Amino acid sequence: MTSQSDPSSQNANNNIQSIAAKTIDSNRVRVSVELFEDHSRPNLILTLNDSNQQEAARSIIMGTIDKHVEFTLHVRVQDPALPFTFTCVSFMQEEEPIDTKSILVQEAQ
């Protein structure tokens, strides 16, 4: 599943252009984040929540250099309630998010 948007704010270049996520197996989810071309190295928080809103995985990337980030999140809870929701937040300073995108995770086929 993917989510996309257009830049439209003061920090538009640090907005998240799109996100995608797909399960690899019951313990891993492959996620990708696409930023707008002229981004200024935002920080990213990548979280994976189960259907009970319990956090199953989390990663923080500081000062993202590339426009495209692809990453494997490893589920650290046993028997999570599916489906997962993948959320990506971009920010420059803590507690001041610039953009947030969330999607349901596709099952591996």
**Structure-token pair, residue 103:** 């999607």
Contact between 84 and 46 under an 8 Å Cβ cutoff? The reply is no
Rounded Cα distance, 25 and 29, in Å: 7
pLDDT in tens, the chain (109 residues): 656 554 444 468 899 999 999 999 989 999 999 999 988 999 999 999 999 999 999 999 999 999 999 999 999 999 999 999 999 999 999 889 999 999 999 887 6
pTM, to two decimals: 0.87
